[in-house]
Amino acid sequence: MANTALITGASSGIGLELAKIHAEREGNLVLVARNIQKLNELKQEFEAKFDISVCVIQKDLSDSNSAVEVYNELKSNDIQIDFLFNNAGFGWNAPFSLTDFKILDEMVELNVNTLTKLCRLFLPDMLARNSGKILNTASIAAFAPMPYMAVYGATKAYVLSLSDALHSETKNTDVSVTAVCPGPTQSNFMSFSTMEFSPMIKGKKLPSAHIVALRAYNAMLKGKRAIIPFLSNKLMVCAIKFFPKYLTVNIVEKLLGTSKN
């Protein structure tokens, strides 16, 4: 399988749209998610529509061994990964003090540890070939603490920081690492995290996952360090950088509608 992209969280949202974009450009796919029925449906659809090869891997990426298992399975099948899209992740909207340990563990494992391990596993192969690209999905949440989504915001800050560092480490090669920092987007994430009821989201028309994915994909191809899709999100991030931290946290809390006062 040449020109192959590995996409985590590939069964819906931005991950699914990244898969479609890559397939439209005649790229082969390795799709990783928990829903094997959905993955098999996508495999049939993409192979018929785009005349490409699609490999599906059912995996719970919140499992600590999942990254190594995915890597070893691909190695054993002699599948080279040219593009790595670390897209899988989830958030949780609740007071930190009341959040179940299992949720915290799974969030950190998926959003941080698995992403880190996948980068560490596939980056050496890319550097050895002097060819390859990594796209990590962060968030505008990476730029400010998020009361009542404290761990989610912290994990995305980690993803952005890691991606920035790896982009610098690979700057003298033909390998690049890009972070995409979307704002609120039409996806299952909104309902799963209950953010759809926040003042920042409720009643507003959100950008489609396809537009976000397309802009991220093109930024990755250009080897950009990071991309913040849409002017409104860029302005928000710029404002965050100039506001005192205490004020930023208060504003974020009100925008999310999570204040308990």
Active site residues: 152
Q: How far is residue 34 from each of residues 39, 67, 129, 158, 229, measured CA to CA in Å?
A: 8, 13, 31, 24, 28
Report how far apart, in Å, the C-alpha atoms of 134 and of each of 1, 86, 118, 179, 244 are.
18, 8, 10, 8, 33
DSSP assignment of 36-74? HHHHHHHHHHHHHHH---EEEEE--TTSTTHHHHHHHHH
Q: What is the DSSP string of 192-247?
A: HTTGGGSTTTTT--PPPHHHHHHHHHHHHHTT-SEE--SHHHHHHHHHHHHS-HHH
Cα separation, 215 vs 183, in Å, equals: 13
Distances (CA, A) of 204 to 7, 185, 221: 29, 11, 31
SS3 100: coil
Structure tokens at 198: 């926040």
